[in-house]
Structure 1
Amino acid sequence: MGGRFLSIGESMVELSQAGDGLLRKGFAGDTLNTAWYARACLPADWSVDYFTALGDDPLSQDMLSFIEAAGIETNNISRIKGGTPGLYLINLKDGERTFSYWRSTSAARQLAADADHLRGTIEGADVIYFSGITLAILATPLAVDTFLAELRRAKAAGKQVVFDPNIRPRLWADKKIMLNTISDGARAATLVMPSFDDEADNFGDANIEATIARYRALGVANVVVKDGAKGVTLDFEGARSHAPAVQAVHVVDTTSAGDSFNGAFLSRLVTGSTPQEAAIFAAEAAAIVIGHHGALINPDLLPKT
């Protein structure tokens, strides 16, 4: 029996170096990346939807076409008259990537502007996924409150609400507001999937046990802590387990390591695998992804079982 997976956040226009001073256009974003890998790994009886706000410009239309071509539904995406998507440029120097962003006027900042539309979109989903970046780019504190209220409502209704804190301090004007909002996001979730490095750097967690304890204290039933090459620690209703990382044959681009893990993990978890089984599958998928250029790789390259 299938279901509906909904990912909410910001997709951006990506400009990367194409040689001879030329740039290549693409589309990516943490929540879109996770939706992409969830779609690639879920069976056909599951639909995958992406929700954001886009403009009415040609770039927004190109992005819609790109998302739809991946088999991801876009029917609920809001369109903002006169709006445009955010944009980022990948800079390469000696093989190292840095990023320049233009997103202050991104239409995605208005994704919670229509509370009724947001509610209807969430009500139609079985699994709702969002991230700390989703919270960070919302235009106003009222928009954050509106968004989190709908997620709390979904959680109370028994839906699976999944949150990756994906902490990016440069997106937040104030560290205290950032930490409080991330914590509020966790309170609205049934499953939180943090990266330990982010939690240690920003919340000061001394170890993974501290990260799990903090999120459990916020009312989160299940926690999956990603710790790079050290693997993943899972705590589901207090039952603790560990899944090792899978070593990539050759690391080329780690941009979407966490996003691909999340999408692959959730694809297995919601279709009946145990958390341990889901984590083992997701680790294999992430190892393949980081062995290729770009955030989004050909789905045919991913593991099938």
Structure 2
Amino acid sequence: MNKSHFRKNSPEIIAFGEAMAMLVADETGALECVDHFHRRVAGADTNVAIGLARLGFHVGWLSRVGDDSFGRYLRKTLGDEGLDCQFLHTDPLHSTGLVFKARANHSEDPAVEYYRRNSAASQLCIEDAKGIDFSQLRHLHATGIPPALSSATCELSEYMMAKARNAGASISFDPNLRPSLWKNENVMRETLNTLAVKADWVLPGLSEGRLLTGHERPEAIADFYLDRGARAVIIKLGPQGSYYRGVLNGQLESYTVEGIPVTRVLDTVGAGDGFAVGLISALLEGFTPSEALHRANLIGARAVQVIGDMEGLPNSDQLKDLTQHLI
């Protein structure tokens, strides 16, 4: 990747949040019993950024890492993945976030332990985004994780979404609920719903939508956000696929797109991020919402068949092969 090219050109997509170094257990069992781990990159926002870069988009990554070995590892790895890291700042006073991840049995969610309190990324603030040329931005991807890290990162989320909206860029918002990071559930619900309705595309999971809106059915969850300003709501239904409800060409459309059958689930972490990659990439490429949901289901299904948070995200050639195989 030509990094000098990145310095001269503004990203068409921006994602922001916390990338963490992740140590993944090499064998199953409780983390306290594991002797050997391998190093990877973790972070929902990062996964989406990497996935979009693999599909050929010029993606800028806004974050902070510590002036430490994990921070240098993240900077190199994200750059090697094709991310534009000109907005990845080094914080000399705070360390890079770290997460340990167990090796799961079968399709269960793996246990994870985070060490991110007062991390470098939790110190992100509006000033860190001052160098971004929003006039060149096509799309902003935001999640509910940065608003949970600190008051400064919450202010940054509001700033990024306002600047993108004023510049005419599309905005996607994935709640990515992390209840343990919030003061309480009410604060989480109020903050994330306020941000979600500033987005064009809202991407909750079904359980997330129920918790955030108080409604049970996908139609009611979607209407909660549509009535408050969102253009479309896409609800992840797990193996059952995904549900779309939104206004297209002045008409309200709603439908479910069936999921992709998976015979063996190895790692569920990152499935929602893969879904977001598929949806955003397809919509930006001009596909219909139905086609976009199909791609989102496809990449989400691929993600759960590979061990690792972002290892299953395809490049353009792999996506083409996957799509042709299912036709």
The answer to whether 1:234 aligns with 2:244 is yes
Structure 1 contact 243–280 (Cα < 8 Å) conserved = yes
TM-score by length of structure 1 reads 0.90
Alignment match, 1:53: 64
Structure 1 contact 49–72 (Cα < 8 Å) conserved = yes
Q: Which runs of 5+ in 1 are unaligned?
A: none
Q: What amino acid sits opposite 1:111 in the alignment?
A: L
Among 278, 286, 297, the alignment partner of 1:283 is 297
Cα separation, 2, equivalents of 1:227 and 1:118:
37
Q: Which runs of 5+ in 2 are unaligned?
A: 1-9, 28-33
Alignment match, 1:303: 319
Structure 2 contact 240–258 (Cα < 8 Å) conserved = yes
Alignment match, 1:259: 273
Among 5, 14, 32, the alignment partner of 1:6 is 14
Among 118, 127, 146, the alignment partner of 1:105 is 118
CA drift of 1:68 comes to 0.7
Q: What amino acid sits opposite 1:8 in the alignment?
A: F
In the TM superposition, what are the counterparts of 1:113-192 in structure 2 within 5 Å?
113-114=126-127, 117-118=129-130, 120=132, 122-137=134-149, 139-140=150-151, 143-192=153-202
Q: What amino acid sits opposite 2:63 in the alignment?
A: T
SS for the counterpart of 1:149 is helix
CA drift of 1:192 comes to 0.8
CA drift of 1:289 comes to 1.5
| Runs of 4+ displaced beyond 6 Å | none
Structure 2 contact 213–224 (Cα < 8 Å) conserved = no
CA drift of 1:156 comes to 3.1
Structure 1 contact 165–182 (Cα < 8 Å) conserved = yes
Cα separation, 2, equivalents of 1:94 and 1:286:
19
Q: Deviations over 1:147-190 (max 9, x none)?
A: 30341232133210110011121111121111111011113211
Structure 2 contact 142–157 (Cα < 8 Å) conserved = no
Quick one: structure 1 residues 256 and 210, their matched pair in 2 at CA, closer, same or farther if it must change by over 3 Å?
same
Quick one: structure 1 residues 88 and 146, their matched pair in 2 at CA, closer, same or farther if it must change by over 3 Å?
closer
How many matched pairs? 298
Cα separation, 1, equivalents of 2:91 and 2:67:
6
CA drift of 1:123 comes to 4.6
Structure 2 contact 14–139 (Cα < 8 Å) conserved = yes
Cα separation, 1, equivalents of 2:82 and 2:92:
26
Q: What amino acid sits opposite 1:112 in the alignment?
A: C
Among 89, 102, 106, the alignment partner of 1:78 is 89
CA drift of 1:36 comes to 1.5
Alignment match, 1:24: 38
Identity %: 24
Alignment match, 2:223: 213
SS for the counterpart of 1:219 is coil
Cα separation, 1, equivalents of 2:271 and 2:104:
21
Quick one: structure 1 residues 65 and 244, their matched pair in 2 at CA, closer, same or farther if it must change by over 3 Å?
same
SS for the counterpart of 2:101 is strand
Cα RMSD after superposing both structures: 2.2
CA drift of 1:227 comes to 0.9
